[in-house]
Chain A
């Protein structure tokens, strides 16, 4: 009986501790969402007290309505989701294929190429943005209208350069290294082609790592696409959400609308993350931990 009592109060303490920490992690988000419901003046005044977290005062969805007036939000979200989804699908395919080749096949030059790829981890995007712009300006593209030169003002310019990246490849490589090599060898001895081994044996075992890589890619493509779209998405119809954020920073910043916009665009990310939750955690169990 005593044991139970102790254990309950202990548990309670644990919950209290966890909850305090949770508050630290979530309070800015609450601030953002609650602020989006307040008019600008009140928002600014409330931000210096506890009222910042409380939906009190003049609460309404006005900011959201105004935000939709100011910027074509659905267009931006649609663009971002399209670009992100396409990149993720192509990336998962290309990177896992390459990782498979690096881990399970022997071929000359493999080591050098892998090293070069991993070294690109250090290169921040801003360093290559301008050279990249010059490059994509000369690339051909085939479409309904025929062959055209230059990829500006398109979706492909926001997708193709980002399909292959070092982190994704690194994740797959580490994961594949931990998979039982015997399976692969056995299948190979049996005469299966490499592509068959890839698709029938490795892929089914890799659900978790795909989820991890997918989430990371989603975050990268949805959240961090700033400089590049500014440079290449000159027409409004191709712009993604982060460029849209700038619409709200004219000479007089409408903070309420900014908060509303931020709240809106965070929804797809959260939704994707929550849906991938289970697979994500389970998968990290196998990334380079034993390797």
Chain B
């Protein structure tokens, strides 16, 4: 009897207390997202005199479909391989197969994504129907894979640096946190100046410090440096925040653990791996989860600085979502990307949780 009453009152109170936040989230986050999910199953435009049609998984199919093609080197009439002036084999352009070729209807309008050589006489192509989406996907994943550990690692180093009883250390801590306080959009505008190929500050500084040895580089204009430039800037902006989190974690490790290590004659590396790192495990999980989630939503930097270029080397999923949904008024297409992103990140985070859960119990 007593238990039931207790439980009942907890049920009601529990609900009551959670209600404001829960209802707000439901109405303003969950519900719109369900609508977006609905949009992805239609051909909804932002505004159109044509009625909206339900298309099922058509959008997803289009976005994700990938085909394979093996192409042999060109042969002449006798069946022998043709060689060009340099003695190389010649291959027909993929354009021949992907544009209105009646023998390959399923390849129509696909675009070349990856190319592999199979021996000398064959090439193996991976063709994608929505090439820009694929590029956005791979670049976003690349961005996450590079930024997350780098940002977490640098933040940890900085935290350990800051975690010393020097006078005025607080000032440094404040300064290291300052970039976090500025909007990423503003940061992108500033860094666009700094990265400029001709008048950029970065080039000027590097030129100065290398005593004239360094030649100016067009950081945002070259395919091999653009993504790196954005990664560097993103880390610069975000590392202060994670430094603070690491710092707090470091400060919870009991000082006597370090004493013990010192007495036992441990060197710096041993101290780190046997005292510091184990004490930081939970902090590490928190940091990695937040960094990873945030990295997947790469957007303002790309929108302000490179718009996906040059040559799609800085495409990102959220940028494409905005371009399609708002720029091209294709709400269904944009929603398709957001649903995909959601499911993708959800599975990754479930996977992350699964891995870390085992370790704690094991």
Do any CB atoms of chain A lie under 8 A from CB atoms of chain B in the complex? yes
Contact yes or no, B199 A47, CB < 8 A: yes
Contact yes or no, B200 A164, CB < 8 A: no
- Asked if A262 is an interface residue, CB under 8 A from chain B, the answer is yes
- Asked if B172 is an interface residue, CB under 8 A from chain A, the answer is yes
**Which partner residue on chain B sits nearest A107 by CB separation?**
B14
Residues from 124 to 147 in A contacting B, C-beta threshold 8 Å: 124, 126-128, 130-132, 134-135
What A residues does B208 contact at CB under 8 A? Answer: 50
Contact yes or no, A32 B190, CB < 8 A: yes
- Asked if A40 is an interface residue, CB under 8 A from chain B, the answer is no
**Assuming the A-B contacts A122-B342, A135-B32, are A48 and B182 also in contact, with contact meaning beta carbons closer than 8 angstroms in the complex?**
no
- Asked if A1 is an interface residue, CB under 8 A from chain B, the answer is no
What A residues does B352 contact at CB under 8 A? Answer: none
Contact yes or no, A116 B30, CB < 8 A: yes
Interface size on A, residues (CB 8 A): 91
- Asked if A14 is an interface residue, CB under 8 A from chain B, the answer is yes
Contact yes or no, B17 A101, CB < 8 A: yes
Interface string of B182-203 (1 = CB under 8 A from A): 1111110111011010111101
Interface string of A61-98 (1 = CB under 8 A from B): 00000000000000000000000000000000111011
What B residues does A24 contact at CB under 8 A? Answer: 236
What A residues does B345 contact at CB under 8 A? Answer: 122
Residues from 1 to 56 in B contacting A, C-beta threshold 8 Å: 7, 10-11, 13-18, 20-22, 24-25, 27-33, 35-36, 39, 46
Contact yes or no, B24 A100, CB < 8 A: no
Contact yes or no, A22 B244, CB < 8 A: no
**In the complex, what distance in Å separates the CA atom of A101 from the CA atom of B15?**
8
Q: B-side binding surface: helix, strand, loop or mixed?
A: helix
Contact yes or no, A120 B293, CB < 8 A: no
Contact yes or no, B247 A132, CB < 8 A: no
- Asked if B341 is an interface residue, CB under 8 A from chain A, the answer is yes
**In the complex, what distance in Å separates the CA atom of A261 from the CA atom of B345?**
37
What B residues does A119 contact at CB under 8 A? Answer: 346
**Assuming the A-B contacts A18-B161, A105-B13, A194-B17, are A31 and B194 also in contact, with contact meaning beta carbons closer than 8 angstroms in the complex?**
yes
Interface string of B238-262 (1 = CB under 8 A from A): 0010001101110110000000000
Contact yes or no, A122 B349, CB < 8 A: yes
B202 → A minimal CB distance (Å): 10
Contact yes or no, B21 A266, CB < 8 A: no
Contact yes or no, B245 A287, CB < 8 A: yes
What B residues does A162 contact at CB under 8 A? Answer: 28
**Which partner residue on chain B sits nearest A18 by CB separation?**
B172
29 A–B contacts from the bound complex (CB under 8 Å): A18-B166, A18-B169, A22-B172, A25-B175, A45-B199, A94-B21, A98-B21, A101-B13, A107-B10, A117-B25, A122-B296, A122-B341, A126-B318, A126-B322, A126-B325, A127-B33, A127-B341, A128-B29, A128-B35, A130-B46, A132-B28, A135-B27, A164-B29, A223-B184, A266-B186, A277-B170, A277-B174, A284-B245, A289-B282
Question: 8 smallest A-B Cβ distances: which pairs?
Answer: A127-B338, A107-B14, A223-B183, A128-B32, A131-B35, A131-B32, A98-B21, A284-B248
Q: Interface of A with B (CB < 8 Å)?
A: 11, 14-15, 17-19, 21-22, 24-26, 28-29, 31-32, 44-45, 47-50, 52, 93-95, 97-98, 100-102, 105-108, 110, 113, 116-117, 119-124, 126-128, 130-132, 134-135, 160-166, 169, 174, 193-195, 198, 219, 222-224, 226, 242, 245, 258, 262, 266, 269-270, 273-274, 277, 280-281, 283-291
Q: Interface of B with A (CB < 8 Å)?
A: 7, 10-11, 13-18, 20-22, 24-25, 27-33, 35-36, 39, 46, 158, 161, 164, 166, 169-170, 172-187, 189-191, 193-194, 196, 198-201, 203-205, 208, 236, 240, 244-245, 247-249, 251-252, 282-283, 285-286, 293, 296-297, 299, 318, 321-322, 325-326, 331, 334-335, 338, 341-342, 345-346, 349
Q: Using A14-B164, A101-B16, A285-B248 as known contacts, list a sample of 8 further A-B pairs with CB atoms less than 8 Å apart, ordered by residue number in A.
A: A47-B200, A97-B21, A113-B18, A128-B338, A131-B33, A135-B32, A160-B28, A245-B186
